[in-house]
Amino acid sequence: MTGKAARLIFWLGTLVSAAIFLWMTYDFHLQTPKYTHTDKLTEEVVAGKKVWHKYNCNDCHTILGFGGYYAPDMTKAIYRLGDNNIASIVQHPEVMYKNSFRKMPQLGITEPETRQLIAFLRWTSEIENRKWPPQDEKFVEAYKLRESQPQKLDKVHLVLQACGGCHTFEHQGRNVGGDLTAIANRITYDRQTLINYIINPQSVRPGVTMPPQDVSLQTAGVIADFVLSLRSTKEVKQ
């Protein structure tokens, strides 16, 4: 190869690489509003991001691929836990994780800060990031099915999204609130009482640590039917 040919290849390769880089940078900024929903960046979302940094949540949690790996990834946490469960965990971790191997320090996050943090996590969960993290995609799919077609929920969907954030069933879910089969055989609630308990636990059992669940009356009925079906020997009152 002559020196002239080598210089030609060098400059041609450099110019092509630079053109590709500039185009990708331009396209990235062009697509960002569409995939990140910047039109939903409200003052509450921005305040929630500041709360996230104020309490150094990244020390233990990962979000959008950045942060520690001691605690669960929070990128799609809204789909996995729901608003009320996140609020209860953030404000009362010593109660929510009392019987769990997983622990979280009491950070003193106020109620307004909790609402802002949830708004930030909800905005983050809606970012189109090519289904990352992949382990939470099943929660996203189950959440959308629960909202649109609760009558079609099967036990896997129920456990994974509506109950799996705190309860286990057939070795799935998180063992924070106990196994659903054991609970079904322990409680004496009839169907309506169980529905009331799911929607507002305090109305049935004052002082219980379970937070109200973000589910419709119809979905609560589907969940109640499922839990009661797990009873092995006790009579189910109608």
Q: What is the pLDDT of residue 151?
A: 67
Contact 198, 220 (CB under 8 A): yes
Structure tokens at 67: 């942060």
Could you give the percent of the chain with pLDDT greater than 70?
A: 93
Residue of 178, 146, 185 whose CA lies nearest to 162: 146
162 lies in the same domain as 216? yes
Query: Looking at per-residue confidence, does 157 or 121 come out higher?
Result: 121
59 lies in the same domain as 122? yes
Q: What is the pLDDT of residue 224?
A: 92
Structure tokens at 100: 């769990």
Length of the chain: 238
Task: Return the HEC string of 109-166.
Answer: CCHHHHHHHHHHHHHHHCCCCCCCCHHHHHHHHHHHHHHHCHHHCCHHHHHHHHHCCC
145 lies in the same domain as 226? yes
pLDDT at 46 over 50: yes
Q: Is residue 237 part of a domain?
A: no
Mean pLDDT over each residue of the chain, to the nearest integer: 89
Please report where in the chains the tokens 């009579």 appear, as a residue: 235
Q: Is residue 188 part of a domain?
A: yes
pLDDT at 233 over 80: no
Q: Which class for 5: exposed (0-12), middle (13-18), buried (19 or more C-beta within 10 A)?
A: exposed
Q: Count of CB atoms within 10 A of residue 212's CB?
A: 18
Q: What is the pLDDT of residue 147?
A: 66
170 lies in the same domain as 217? yes
Q: What is the pLDDT of residue 146?
A: 74
The domain total for the chain is 2
Quote the longest CA-to-CA distance of the chain: 91
Among 44-58, 88-102, 178-192, whose mean pLDDT is lowest?
88-102
pLDDT at 182 over 50: yes
Last residue of a domain, one of 69, 103, 127: 127
Q: Is residue 48 part of a domain?
A: yes
Q: What is the pLDDT of residue 171?
A: 82
**For position 68, which CATH number holds?**
1.10.760.10
Name the DSSP letter for residue 200: -
99 lies in the same domain as 155? no
Q: What is the pLDDT of residue 238?
A: 46
- What is the value of pTM for the model shown? 0.78
Q: What is the pLDDT of residue 20?
A: 97
Q: Which domain holds residue 104?
A: 40-127
Could you give the percent of the chain with pLDDT greater than 90?
A: 58
Q: Is residue 173 part of a domain?
A: yes
Q: Is residue 113 part of a domain?
A: yes
Q: What is the pLDDT of residue 174?
A: 78
Q: What is the pLDDT of residue 120?
A: 98
Q: Which residues contact 68 (CB under 8 A, 6 or more apart)?
A: 58, 59, 60, 61, 62
Distance CA 158, CA 164 (A): 7
122 lies in the same domain as 153? no
List pLDDT tens digits, range 128-158: 988 889 988 888 888 887 767 766 767 777 6
